[in-house]
Structure 1
Amino acid sequence: MALSDNLIVDRYPTRTAEPVAHIERSDATVWGTIESDSLASFDADGFAMIDALLDPTEVADLTDEVVGLTKDPDLWLDDRLIIEKSANRVRSIFEVHRLSARVGDLVRESRIVGLARQVLGSEVYIHQSRVNFMPGFQGTGFYWHSDFETWHAEDGMPAPRAVSLSIALTDNYPYNGSLMVMPGSHRTFVPCQGVTPTEHYRESLRQQQFGVPTEADITELANKHGIAQFTGRAGSALLFDSNLMHGSANNITPFPRSNIFLVFNSVENTLVEPFAADAPRPTYIGSRDFTPVR
């Protein structure tokens, strides 16, 4: 692969034929200067929880907006709307910052994009945005994974110089499918096995089967790092490293859980050809518009 006539070296090989050893991260976690006290734990843990990032009025407005999207009949014919594998319910809506003017405006606010700039030490662009819905009683979780493994393998992201900001639109309790994370796991890259199927994204966005660690991998990381949970009132947020191991259980409670995810990538880490797939995923999943957020 080439970018500006320079060979792109794959320092994080994955989707291998046989199991290979974990790779200790050679890249920084914090590339810039942390200015916010709320991000003080980011380098060590790979994440930081931010209380009351949005106020109740903002949460209500955003919730009305994204719920309205789920009722748009035209969007149900759009690939950006993902349906649950086991039921005719909305699981996720991608490119939500383009579909929703409110979300688009939110992305550009300094209190939002500024968090990513502090960690990544550069201008940033939106690699991906989505809203995830986990309704009461029937919400399906997300198995343990590192986002970077997929973004590297299937989108062509060279290094883990990206962060996700998960903003809670509902209260996140320990029991309604809240996100589980392994503190410190961002420093270890876990290669996965298997050849990426053609157009894998069509299944993986509903239920991922390739690009997931083995039970032995998860056991080793959990024994080493432990497991924490992102809980908090609606409006709270979690900023986390792209290589942090995370996942969520099913929601069998009456209390729904919905979150907006904004993924910021450094403009110095733009995508090349996929490292372990035959073609890049669609741009609504992995953007190839590297225009900095202004």
Structure 2
Amino acid sequence: MTVTARPDLYPTRIIGEPVPQQRPDPTVWGSAPGPLSEEQLARYESGGYLVLDELLSGEEVAVYLEELRRLGTDPALRASRRVILEPDSDQVRSVFEVEKVSDLFATLLRSPRLTDIARQVLDSDVYIHQSRVNYKPGFGGAPFHWHSDFETWHSEDGMPRPRAFSVSIALTENHPFNGPLMVMPGTHKSFIPTVGETPEDYHEESLRVASPSVGSPDQRHLTRMATEHGIEQITGPAGSAVMFDSNLLHGSNGNLSPFARSNIFIVYNSVENTLGSPFSAPKPRPQHLSNREFPTASA
């Protein structure tokens, strides 16, 4: 039997000079009806992100914030692979696969207020590719270096195309001084390959260090993209959210303030874009980082 190799539309983790390419895929994948207006879809398509005001009520924020604290202090969970600690302390940085460890978060992640948006933008049924809660504690929450999520998901998880997006829901206020999300609007329309081979079990380094050794565009390309597109901070109250395209360049500074910048983070992927073997890594990342079970998000 002849096995046909999958085409790689987004080659990365290369040796030599990285050459950016125009993205051949859309940002909004169809014209399915849904909760977003035409104006909202146009802003998302153009900039690669969209702020959703008051996604959660104040009462809901309080409930989810307490659940976040419970997960962060659960000793059994803390001893598992789902928990990532800060690079310079034993404080919790992230808890992954929260729909498996919290019924409360599972209900939210699979709720129509989120999945209806995902189906509208991706023009298909969807599933949760990845989920986590990020703590970004005061006096020590480390930065996240500039990167495209899709570059990682493509090279290390085997996601074929950028038919996915993330939603970050604020559980604490996003101030300019506590390490909020930063984005380069419009950069989702260009794919920038990165240089270097993916080391074995690279996720054990990349999820914890502030500046991973592989997977971020070089400074020359980042400077050019920032000059052309600018940098915007996503600030706002607890309960607000931002959805952003999987290929949008983003990052965040460290948190030197006393105030945590904590959020719920969900990635929705199209069921027509499920994972195969990694395009540029020795083996797939673990299940808690890249879901291969493919239930629909509303299941």
Answer yes or no: same fold by TM over 0.5: yes
Query: d(CA) in 1 for partners of 2:194 and 2:286?
Result: 22
Query: Offset of 1:273 from its aligned partner?
Result: 0.3
Alignment of 1:1-294 (within 5 A): 6-33=4-31, 35=34, 36-37=36-37, 38-207=40-209, 208-294=212-298
1:197-234: per-residue Cα shift (whole Å, max 9, x none)? 00000111102221011111110110111111111100
User: How far 1:186 sits from its partner (Å)?
Assistant: 0.2
Cα RMSD (Å): 1.2
Q: Are the aligned partners of 1:32 and 1:117 in contact in 2 as well (CA < 8 Å)?
A: no
**Secondary structure of 1:265's aligned partner:** strand
Q: What amino acid sits opposite 1:251 in the alignment?
A: N
Q: C-alpha offsets along residues 115-159 of structure 1, whole Å, 9 cap, x if unaligned?
A: 111110000000000011111121111000000000000000000
Q: What is the aligned-residue identity percentage?
A: 51
User: Could you tell me how far 1:242 is from its partner in structure 2?
Assistant: 0.2
TM superposition shift of 1:39:
4.0
Instruction: Verify the 8 A CA contact 1:145 1:245 in the aligned structure 2.
Output: yes
Q: Distance in 2 between matches of 1:178 and 1:264?
A: 21
Any conservation in 2 of the 1:125–1:291 contact (CA below 8 Å)? yes
Q: Which runs of 5+ in 2 are unaligned?
A: none
Residues in 2 aligned to 1:47 and 1:251: alpha-carbon distance in whole angstroms: 23
**Contact 2:174/2:180, CA 8 A, preserved across alignment:** yes
Work out the CA distance in 2 between the residues paired with 1:273 and 1:79. Answer: 22
* CA drift at 1:6: 4.9
Q: After TM superposition, what 4+ stretches of structure 1 lie above 4 angstroms from structure 2?
A: none
Q: Distance in 2 between matches of 1:23 and 1:271?
A: 22
How many Å separate the matches in 2 of 1:7 and 1:88? 43
The letter for the 2-side match of 1:134 is: K
Q: Would you say the 8 A contact 1:40–1:48 is kept in 2?
A: no
Q: In the alignment, is the contact (CA less than 8 A) between 2:87 and 2:142 conserved in 1?
A: no
Q: How many residues align?
A: 291
Residue 112 of structure 1: SS of its match in structure 2? helix
1:74 is paired with a residue of what secondary structure?
A: helix
Deviation at 1:7, TM superposition (A): 3.4
Letter matched to residue 62 of structure 1:
Y
Q: CA deviation at 1:110?
A: 0.9
Give 1:171 shift. Answer: 0.4
1:108 Cα deviation after fit: 1.7
Q: State the alpha-carbon separation in 2 of the partners of residues 161 and 41 from structure 1.
A: 17
